[in-house]
Amino acid sequence: MLPLLLVTAVSLVIGLLMVLLFGYTSDQKAIKVAKDQLKAHLLAVRLFQDQLPVVVGSYGRIIRGTGRYIRLAFMPLLYVIVPITLLIVQIDRYLGQKPFAPEQAFLVKATAPGALDSLSLDLPEALKLSAPPLHIPGEYDIMWRVVGDQPGVYDVFDVSGDLIFPTRVVVSGGVERLSPARFRDHFWERLFTSAEPALPGSSPVDSIAVNYPSRDIRFAWIGWNWIVLFFVLSMIAGFAFKEILGIEI
């Protein structure tokens, strides 16, 4: 229930902010004129459909009018989309996946080209291995299956010689900030996926991943990915606030 309430609240707030920001950054009079002209040209196509020159001319004006409307709306949409994308990245770390339940087995995977033989996993007391490490021949990955006895936030350590690389693991039944991977480089993957600092550039470990399960949010008897539900609810809220505030979109 808490994830659904969070998504609903965020969608309402973002829907309102999107409409206000669009209204503040756009030329409202020009957008209204462009929309009215498009409506007039579409009406002309219907009224004079038996007059080919009028229809062809109207279609040409519709194309030009559409281009003019897109030009007027582009920058305001850009001002809206960029901060919302960054916000979604942050919220996804809370709502995109679920923490592990106590006694639920999960995998920790390290990718370390050339250093697999020296790599081991050091666990706190509340976590334990439930199977031997698995290395698929011909690949650079090694995986450990781990179980947590009790809720908590833990650091697991990939150890290679004297080098130690901690990764955060969360065992909980609530909503927590999660990081499914930690990377050495991979700037864009770190930006959109990881919530932890980058591994050192000299690290033999390329990445460390934890397989948190995806979170589905029940709404209208359907299991939703939170981002899809957010877009649906925020668009509904946006159009509602648009009508209330009289803003042209």
Per-residue pLDDT, 245? 86
| Banded model confidence at residue 100, pLDDT cuts 50, 70, 90 | very high
Say if residue 79's pLDDT is above 90. no
Mean pLDDT estimate for the chain: 86
Highest mean pLDDT among 115-119, 186-190, 217-221: 217-221
pLDDT band, residue 70 (cuts 50/70/90): confident
Q: Tell me which range, 26-30, 72-76, 174-178, is most confidently predicted by mean pLDDT.
A: 174-178
Q: Report the pLDDT value the prediction gives residue 121, as an integer from 0 to 100.
A: 85
* Res. 222: pLDDT tops 80: yes
User: Among candidates 143, 32, 42, 28, which has minimal Cα distance to 76?
Assistant: 28
pLDDT for the residue numbered 106: 93
Domains of the chain, CATH where assigned: 2-96+218-245 (no CATH), 105-210 (2.60.40)
Residue 201 has pLDDT above 90, yes or no: no
Q: What's the pLDDT score for residue 84?
A: 87
147: pLDDT strictly greater than 90? yes
54 pLDDT higher than 90:
no
What is the 3-class SS of the chain, one letter each residue?
CHHHHHHHHHHHHHHHHHHHHHHHHCCHHHHHHHHHHHHHHHHHHHHCCCCHHHHHHHHHHHHHHHHHHHHHHHHHHHHHHHHHHHHHHHHHHHHCECCECCCCEEEEEEECCCCHHHEEEECCCCEEECCCCEECCCCCEEEEEEEECCCEEEEEEEEECCEEEEEEEEECCCCCCCCCEEECCCHHHHHHCCCCCCCCCCCCCCEEEECCCECCEEECCEEECHHHHHHHHHHHHHHHHHHHHCCCC
Using one digit for the tens of pLDDT, what is the confidence trace for 6-22? 999 999 999 998 888 88
